[in-house]
Chains A and B, each alone.
Chain A
Amino acid sequence: MSDHDHNDEGSGVSRRRVLECMTWAGTGVLWTITGGVPRSMGLVGSAQAAEPAGMTFLQISDSHVGFDKPANPNALGTLEEAINKINAMPVKPSFMIHTGDITHLSKAVEFDNADRIISQAKLDVHYVPGEHDFIDEEVKLYKERYGRGTKGAGWYSFDANGVHFIGLVNVVDLKAGGLGNLGAEQLEWLEQDVKGRSKSTPIVVFAHIPLWTVYPTWGWGTEDGGRALDYLKGFGSVTVLNGHIHQVMQKVEGNVTFHTARSTAFPQPAPGTAPSPGPMKVADDKLRGLLGVASINFKPGDQRLAIIDTPLQG
């Protein structure tokens, strides 16, 4: 599927500094952009009532197609449920981003199945890879399918509705004992990519592993993520969207909002609450609750995003 038609859609930012957010729709996050600052739309119900102005896009993550272990024997099925949720949304998002770990083992059939399901949303999808998407022997399947028009291991940028989107890759060339890694070449590219842009341009950065340090003991962070953020200093609104940790986590630091999305496949434990970050097995009737609805609220004029977890089933 062609995912990186990196053109400006250029309807411009007519509304001021309102970036974002959103509805948790089952297992995806719906973001509404009306300029540069996150704005609350509450739960699905209230989103229905409030006709959102501006652009909306959706983030899904960590679909792990091929995963069939006890934590979720049917990861493809829950991905499909997520896509059905997206299709049922009252407001069709402009496009979708997928923040990596599309597959579990980088098998061709897993990529095929993921694409078959995700394409049912009939949305452009902008992907970045997770470490699980680069483990085929020749390390070529991800790049063949999603790497067109990208640089290096798959990084790129594009503009939509006046927002500059930057997709980064922090899952290759990892160093023993270290965390996620962007590397010198990508950082150099990033510096050039944002250089000369108006500081009022809202920036959305997305990558698989959190760019900020969430929990280094489990490798949840990016070694040189701080350098990437240095290049984004001075921009009025920066939103960093990641996956990898299969749970919602967020932080606001100055003008930068960090946020991780849930997985559509299986939950992982909160930092330090289990012997390892491995898939967390919960009772069957609890699974969709953990993959399910959570809303992120941003009150206008307030820099802080508030997370409200609301299980779909409870």
Chain B
Amino acid sequence: MASLAPRGLGIRFAIAAAISLCLSLSLGGARAEETTNVMIDNFTFEPAQLTVKVGTTVTWKNRDDIPHTIVSAGKFRSKTLDTDDSYSFTFTTTGDYKYFCSLHPHMTGMIKVE
């Protein structure tokens, strides 16, 4: 990217903009939340807060060398995720889903479902 001439960069941005406009249109004009992954790195959920549409499946992936869990009291609970294990949950109702790691409870996050 850094080696591209300014003009080339401009063209690339234009193409990217056109593609994303096209994508938006194909989704009925609504702005889609594209991020559905939450990464666990360094005992942190990233992003810590994520807003998604109803029906979205969110996947957490543990990239630490230590196991973690994803627990939202009364809503969902993953098995213990070892390194590189994933857990997915599909959100079918709106609301704020606060969750944490039951092994390292200082790790907290939230999925906002609209």
Contact = CB atoms under 8 A, between A and B. Distances in A.
B20 interface: no
B65 A178 contact: no
B102 interface: yes
Nearest to A181: B105
**Chain B facing A: main interface SS:** loop
B36 interface: no
A234 to B, nearest CB: 32
Nearest to A173: B102
Contact of B103 (A69, A131, A177): A131
A278 B42 contact: yes
A219 B104 contact: yes
Nearest to A266: B65
A217 B106 contact: yes
B43 A278 contact: yes
A177 B100 contact: yes
Contacts of A178: 105-106
B98 interface: yes
A295 to B, nearest CB: 29
B16 to A, nearest CB: 31
A54 interface: no
Interface residues of A, number: 25
Interface residues of B, number: 24
Interface stretch (B53-61, B78-86, B88-96): B78-86
B44 A174 contact: no
Given A175-B105, A176-B98, A218-B106, A278 B64 contact: yes
B43 A179 contact: no
**Chain A facing B: main interface SS:** loop
A276 B64 contact: yes
A276 B44 contact: yes
B108 A177 contact: yes
A176 B100 contact: yes
Nearest to A171: B103
Contacts of A52: none
B111 to A, nearest CB: 14
A166 interface: no
B23 to A, nearest CB: 34
B43 A174 contact: no
A149 interface: no
A276 B102 contact: no
Contacts of A135: 67, 69, 80, 103
B66 interface: yes
A105 B66 contact: no
Of B43, B67, B105, most A-chain CB atoms within 10 Å:
B105
B108 A70 contact: no
A289 interface: no
A174 B102 contact: yes
A174 to B, nearest CB: 4
Instruction: State the 8 A-B residue pairs at the shortest beta-carbon distance, nearest first.
Output: A276-B42, A176-B100, A219-B106, A276-B43, A69-B65, A174-B105, A135-B80, A275-B42
Given A176-B99, A216-B106, A219-B106, 16 more contacts: A69-B83, A70-B65, A71-B65, A105-B80, A131-B104, A132-B103, A174-B103, A175-B105, A176-B71, A177-B100, A179-B105, A218-B43, A219-B104, A276-B43, A276-B44, A278-B66
Interface of B: 41-44, 64-67, 69, 71, 73, 79-80, 82-83, 98-100, 102-106, 108
30 contacts: A69-B65, A70-B65, A71-B65, A105-B80, A105-B82, A132-B67, A132-B103, A135-B67, A135-B69, A135-B103, A137-B79, A174-B102, A174-B103, A174-B105, A175-B105, A176-B71, A176-B99, A176-B100, A176-B105, A176-B108, A178-B106, A179-B105, A179-B106, A216-B106, A218-B106, A276-B41, A276-B42, A278-B65, A278-B66, A279-B65
Interface of A: 69-71, 104-106, 131-132, 135, 137, 174-179, 216-219, 275-279
